[in-house]
Structure 1
């Protein structure tokens, strides 16, 4: 039977997995975006593609390099949820 404690634990685990994956994908793009913004401020070049393209390429590179780990994390979480489904339903 699902209790409030198990529901809170399930939400906690879900948020932990989501935060891990989002940080992995967003943080490199954020760092590159700040570096490009500093470059644009120093050179006074205000080109939209100069700000967008490096972030896109870094995000794609992170997905290519860490995609296997990301899928592994999601699969581990889903397998854990399915294994505990009988306990959660009752």
Structure 2
């Protein structure tokens, strides 16, 4: 296995992890910004007001994109396992 192959596998793993994490993280970011803006405008500083919408939003994002996430992960894992013979043969 060469250095280039190791770097390529690492880049693919990083790319798939970013793709899988993006829906939940973007949902939390957008909802956090909206709630923060609402709290600034109304001057309501309640901790649960910022936590509950983000938790619900992340749960909904997982429900909506969970199937896609699972498909992406299994596809990546299958491709990685299929490439093992070629990696070891070099």
Q: TM-score range by the shorter chain?
A: over 0.9
What is aligned with 2:36?
A: 37
Counterpart for residue 68 of structure 1 = 67
What is aligned with 2:17? Answer: 18
When the two chains are superposed, the root-mean-square deviation of aligned CA atoms in Å is 0.7
Which structure 2 residue ranges, 5 or more long, are not aligned?
none
User: How many residue pairs are counted as aligned between the two chains?
Assistant: 89
Which SS does the other structure have where 2:40 is aligned?
A: helix
If the length of structure 2 is used for normalisation, what is the TM-score? Answer: 0.95
Determine the C-alpha separation between the residues in 2 that align with 1:16 and 1:82: 17
2:84 counterpart residue number: 85
Query: Which aligned runs of 4 or more in structure 1 are off by greater than 2 angstroms?
Result: none
Quote the Cα distance in structure 1 between the aligned partners of 2:24 and 2:15. Answer: 14
Output the CA distance in 1 between the equivalents of 2:2 and 2:30.
Answer: 41
* Cα distance in 1 between the residues matched to 2:63 and 2:8: 31
Q: Distance in 2 between matches of 1:77 and 1:88?
A: 16
Q: Distance in 1 between matches of 2:41 and 2:57?
A: 22
Classify the secondary structure of the residue corresponding to 2:44: coil
